[in-house]
Amino acid sequence: MTALLNRQIVLARRPAGVPVPGDFRIVESTVPDIQDGEVLIRHAYLGLAPAARLRMSETRSYRDPLALGDVVYGQGCGVVVQSRKPGFEEGDAVMSISGGWQDYSVSKGAGLDRIDTAVAPPTVWLGALGTSGMTAWIGLLQIGRARPGDTVVVSAASGGVGSVVGQIAKLKGCRAVGIAGGEAKVRHVVDDLGFDACVDYRAPGFADALQRACPGGIDVYFENVGGAVRDAVWPLMNTQGRIVVCGLIAEYNDGQLAGPGWFQILAKRLELRGFIMSDHASLRPEFVAEMGAWYAAGKITVKEDISHGLEAVVPAFIGMLQGRNFGKTIVAL
Ligand SMILES: NC(=O)c1ccc[n+]([C@@H]2O[C@H](COP(=O)([O-])OP(=O)(O)OC[C@H]3O[C@@H](n4cnc5c(N)ncnc54)[C@H](OP(=O)(O)O)[C@@H]3O)[C@@H](O)[C@H]2O)c1
């Protein structure tokens, strides 16, 4: 094969805040010969994703950071031009989850899928049928457990993930409400994508408008942005609602991701779930049986802070709120 020229976009400098063109550099190199078990792909399209920004910072997010000089991480869709890997042949249309921002990529097969362009054009395999769509589908149905009749709110509603979230929500019998920036996006989300409503987070009175769009509150919030948008969602959440922490694009540039905050939930796939004990009253016999046995066997240590007399109730209560109790606060009458 004659030598092929590969143009690659590499990280030249770590962005400070919002990336600028000078953070990147285009380099040219010859496409290497592939080895056994490898596939050479010529990219026809690259799918850009906000998460690429995370890898440009020095601190580890949920993926390792890029080194300076690395090709920027991203998805690529194209055609196999050479294959030494069983299952892939020259001419196959493929999608590579880690093709990178370059003309050609070499893959050992991880995250490389053949795509059927009779089903949908390659660009759709980077979007609704690619990682964006699958993110929406998993997030809404597996993590958010959306059910018919639920009100589903999604931020970045006109984007790759958000646009699919709302459409799946509709297909599953939910009420879909989008949040997007600007009038044109808001109109598109309702008129073209078929959401029930969409609210412009940049317009004055956003929080009130969101409330009007969700008269029955919110059962599932699909979080794509974070920041001020999320603040307006909180008070509208219904009891036992679910928040799917998918992305926090409003925070990716602020350099604070390693600290306390929502990014820890996202990156570590944390589960946060409130509960009220009395909702589980039916479990009391099971609890008493288990705890009673532990107590009887001396496996549970108790410490009690006992005051005496009715007059002691108020001071004991106030003291408890200030940490002056030591153990379970009890008043003996
Ligand atoms: N957890 C996962 O596995 C996973 C996988 C894929 C994507 N994601 C996340 O999903 C989210 C959407 O990704 P996408 O690829 O579909 O991108 P996208 O929604 O197509 O594009 C990003 C959109 O975010 C909105 N945005 C940007 N800055 C914002 C800000 N400061 N406040 C509010 N909105 C802002 C913009 O829409 P407006 O003009 O409407 O503001 C922009 O169009 C991202 O957070 C991404 O990281 C997560």
* Per-residue model confidence as pLDDT tens digits over 236-268: 999 999 999 999 999 888 888 877 789 999 999
Mean pLDDT, rounded, of the chain = 94
Task: State the pLDDT at residue 19.
Answer: 94
Same domain, 188 and 311: no
Determine the residue of 225, 245, 248, 253 to mutate for testing ligand 1's pocket, defined as the one with the most ligand atoms within 8 A of the Cβ atom: 225
Regarding the beta carbon of 15 and ligand 1, being less than 6 Å apart is answered no
Amino acid at 98: S
Same domain, 14 and 72: yes
Same domain, 162 and 95: no
Distance 248 CA to ligand 1 centre (A): 7
CATH assignment of the domain containing 87: 3.90.180.10
CATH assignment of the domain containing 225: 3.40.50.720
Last residue of a domain, which of 256, 274, 292? 274
Distance 9 CA to ligand 1 centre (A): 22
pLDDT band at 276 (very low <50, low <70, confident <90, very high): confident
Distance 323 CA to ligand 1 centre (A): 44
CA distance 220 to 169: 10
Regarding the beta carbon of 181 and ligand 1, being less than 6 Å apart is answered yes
Last residue of a domain, which of 121, 143, 177? 121
Domain assignment present for 318: yes
Question: Which residue CA neighbors atom 18 of ligand 1 most closely?
Answer: 159
- For residue 191, give Cα distances in angstroms to 167, 169, 185, 316: 12, 16, 10, 61
Task: State the pLDDT at residue 124.
Answer: 95
Lowest mean pLDDT among 16-25, 109-118, 165-174, 246-255: 246-255
- For residue 11, give Cα distances in angstroms to 15, 42, 68, 70, 249: 9, 21, 5, 6, 20
Q: Across residues 212-231, what is the average pLDDT?
A: 96
pLDDT band at 1 (very low <50, low <70, confident <90, very high): low
Element (H, E) at 263: helix 262-267
Task: State the pLDDT at residue 274.
Answer: 81
Contact 252, 229 (CB under 8 A): no
Contact 12, 85 (CB under 8 A): no
| Residue-number span of the structural domain to which 166 is assigned | 131-274
Last residue of a domain, which of 250, 274, 298? 274
Same domain, 51 and 181: no
Distance 6 CA to ligand 1 centre (A): 29
Distance 281 CA to ligand 1 centre (A): 41
* CA nearest neighbour of 97 among 64, 134, 70, 65: 134
Asked whether residue 278 carries a pLDDT value surpassing 90, the answer given is no
Please count the structural domains in the chain.
Answer: 3
Task: State the pLDDT at residue 198.
Answer: 98
Same domain, 258 and 167: yes
Please report the atom of ligand 1 found closest to the CA of residue 266: 1
Determine the residue of 249, 252, 262, 266 to mutate for testing ligand 1's pocket, defined as the one with the most ligand atoms within 8 A of the Cβ atom: 249
Same domain, 210 and 266: yes
Task: State the pLDDT at residue 255.
Answer: 80
Domain assignment present for 126: no
Task: State the pLDDT at residue 259.
Answer: 75
Distance 39 CA to ligand 1 centre (A): 31
Residues 6+ apart with CB under 8 A from 225: 155, 156, 179, 247, 248, 249, 250
Regarding the beta carbon of 158 and ligand 1, being less than 6 Å apart is answered yes
Domain assignment present for 253: yes
Please state the pTM of the whole predicted model: 0.92
